[in-house]
Amino acid sequence: MTDTLRIRRPDDWHLHLRDGDMLRAVLPETARHFARAIIMPNLVPPVITGADAGAYRDRILAALPVGSKFQPLMTLYLTEETNPDDVAAAYASGLIAAVKLYPAGATTNSASGVANFDKVRPVLERMADIGLPLCVHGEVTDSDIDIFDREAVFIDRVLDPIRRATPGLRVVMEHITTSQAVDYITAHDTGLGATITTHHLVINRNHILVGGIHPHYYCLPVAKRETHRLALVSAATSGDARFFLGTDSAPHMDDAKETACGCAGCFTATNTMSILAEVFEREDALDQLEGFASLHGPGFYRLDANDSYLTLTRGAAVTYPAKITTPNGPVTVFDPGFDLHWIVAP
C-alpha cells in the first residue's frame, strides 16, 4: 500500500475568505497547503470594480502569515450595471482571473446578483473576446423550482442559452452537485470546466437531515442524493481535465450556523487535502489526485502549474482541530464522518 504521495502544490479554484477578523483567522488555513486560490467576491458590499478587487487583494496580502507565498486570484462580482471596460482593464492589468455570476438570491450575499441576463450580455461578449473566464453559481432561484432541482434547471434555462449566445465564452461551472452537471460537461469539451468541492465528494442530503438537522453540513448548492455524490466522485477521480478542485470553503461563525435560519457553507480549508487523499484512495485513484488538485485548474485558467511540491504521508488516524478560533467566535471545521489517515508532511 502506498504510504507517501508527492504532488505539485495544489490550488483552490473556489474559496471564501470573508474580510476583517474572519479573513485574518481563516487565511492561514488555506495558505498552509495551497499556492493559489480563486477568491470569491461576495463581500458586503460586493467586489464589483477593479478598484474594489485591488483593495481586497491588498487586505488579503496584508493578512498572510509572515513568509507565505500564497497568491490570491481575484474575481469581480457580476451585476447588471457592471462596466465591460472596467472588467477588461482589470483583466489586462493582471488584477483579476475571472468574473463571478451569482443569480440574484441564490446564495450568501448574492442579492446584488443577476436577475435579467440580457443586461449582462455586453460584459459576457467582452469576456469572450478577451478570454476571461466566467465562474457560475449554477442554480435558478424561481420559487416554483424544488431546491434539489435548481442546478439541473439552471443548465437548461440559463447556462446552455448563455453559451450558445456567446460563442467563445469560457465557463467554469462551480461546485457542481448533480449527475446532470457531470453529463453536461463531458458532452461539451470546448471552453467548459467544473469545480467539485471536498464536501460534495463526501456528503449526500441524508447527512444534513437524518437523525436531526446537522447545520454544519448545510451548504448551497445543497447536497443531493447518493447517486449524484457517486457521479461527482467518479468525475473527480477519472483524470478528466475538465474537473478540478474548488473547495468552496465558506467560514461562518457557529452562532450563524446553529440558529433558526442558519447560513450555508462548509469550512474545509483545514483538512481538505487529507479528506481528498482518503476519497481518492478508496477509489484506487491516488494517481489522479495531483491532476484534480494541482494540474487541471491551472490548465483551464491558462496558468503554469506550481513549481513547488507537497508530500502526503499515510499512517495512524489524523486529528484536526474541531474549530478555528476567531475574535468573534468559533468556526467549525468540516467533519467528514470517517477517520483520516493522510496528512501533509511538515
Query: What is the band of 2 on the pLDDT scale with cuts at 50, 70, 90?
Result: confident
Active site residue 335: no
- Tell me the per-residue pLDDT of 185-198, one tens digit each, with 9 for 90 and over: 999 878 999 999 99
- Tell me the per-residue pLDDT of 68-108, one tens digit each, with 9 for 90 and over: 999 999 999 999 999 999 999 999 999 999 999 998 877 76
Query: What is the band of 306 on the pLDDT scale with cuts at 50, 70, 90?
Result: very high
Question: 325: exposed, middle or buried (C-beta count within 10 Å: 0-12, 13-18, 19+)?
Answer: exposed
What pLDDT is recorded for position 103? Answer: 87
What pLDDT is recorded for position 109? Answer: 62
Task: Over range 45-57, report the average pLDDT.
Answer: 97
Question: 153: exposed, middle or buried (C-beta count within 10 Å: 0-12, 13-18, 19+)?
Answer: middle
How far CA 150 is from CA of 220, 246, 340, in Å, comes to 11, 20, 32
Task: Over range 276-286, report the average pLDDT.
Answer: 98
What pLDDT is recorded for position 105? Answer: 74
What pLDDT is recorded for position 305? Answer: 98
Inter-residue contact 175 to 226 (CB < 8 Å): no
What pLDDT is recorded for position 115? Answer: 86
Q: How many CB atoms lie within 10 A of CB 58?
A: 11
Q: Which member of 19, 144, 248, 284 is catalytic?
A: 248
Grid cell for residue 23:
479573513
What pLDDT is recorded for position 129? Answer: 98
- Tell me the per-residue pLDDT of 333-345, one tens digit each, with 9 for 90 and over: 999 999 999 999 9
Task: Over range 246-256, report the average pLDDT.
Answer: 98
What pLDDT is recorded for position 64? Answer: 98
Match domain 4-344 to its CATH number in 3.20.20.140, 3.40.50.970, 1.10.10.10, 3.40.50.2300.
3.20.20.140
Q: Which among 97, 66, 30, 70 is positioned nearest to 308, based on CA atoms?
A: 70
Q: Is the pLDDT of residue 291 over 70?
A: yes
Q: Which residues pair with 114 in a beta bridge?
A: 103
- Tell me the per-residue pLDDT of 97-150, one tens digit each, with 9 for 90 and over: 999 999 887 776 667 789 888 899 999 999 999 999 999 999 998 999 999 999
Task: Over range 12-32, report the average pLDDT.
Answer: 98
Q: Which among 99, 51, 25 is positioned nearest to 249, based on CA atoms?
A: 25
Q: Is the pLDDT of residue 220 over 70?
A: yes
What pLDDT is recorded for position 1? Answer: 65
What pLDDT is recorded for position 190? Answer: 83
What pLDDT is recorded for position 189? Answer: 77
Spatial distance between the Cα atoms of 151 and 237, rounded to a whole number of angstroms:
22
Average pLDDT, the chain: 96
Inter-residue contact 112 to 100 (CB < 8 Å): no
* Whole-structure pTM value: 0.96
Task: Over range 179-183, report the average pLDDT.
Answer: 98
Domain-by-domain residue ranges, the chain? Answer: 4-344
Q: Is the pLDDT of residue 59 over 90?
A: yes
Query: What is the band of 280 on the pLDDT scale with cuts at 50, 70, 90?
Result: very high
Spatial distance between the Cα atoms of 206 and 222, rounded to a whole number of angstroms:
11
Task: Over range 16-43, report the average pLDDT.
Answer: 98
